[in-house]
Amino acid sequence: MEVNPVDERDVTIEDDHPAFRVHLWSQPYPNVHVPPERVGWWNHAYELTGCDVHDAIAWAQNNLAEGGQYTLSVCYRRDEGRLTAVRIAGTEPTRSDS
């Protein structure tokens, strides 16, 4: 972890009503003929609004399948309409750099 002081006046827009994306990751029941590392992952995506990050994390943890994982992102729309998702918690199990 690296920590540096900042000038908080550099923020030009604040949003007090964030939207979160939660991806709940799970694997199908194991097949005795397939090694666990070769079993794929499924995910279900949800948008959470009207909550803070602590509520979103609690919801994700409470809705995981057994042995599942979650990723949590905060989302915002850019001026041109594109959605940006910034991952703030969890690890996507399908990424090779995970």
Q: Which residue has the higher pLDDT, 36 or 5?
A: 5
Q: Tens digit of pLDDT for each residue in 29-43?
A: 766 777 767 778 889
Query: Could you tell me if 62 and 56 are in contact, meaning their C-beta atoms sit under 8 angstroms apart?
Result: no
- Whose tokens are 């900042």? That residue is 6
The pLDDT, as a whole number, for residue 30 is: 67
- Whose tokens are 């602590």? That residue is 54
Query: Could you tell me if 48 and 63 are in contact, meaning their C-beta atoms sit under 8 angstroms apart?
Result: no
Alpha-carbon span 84 to 74, nearest angstrom: 8
- Residue 5 above 70 pLDDT? yes
Q: Check residue 40 and report its DSSP letter.
A: -
Alpha-carbon span 88 to 1, nearest angstrom: 15
Q: Is 87 helix (H, G, I), strand (E, B) or coil?
A: strand
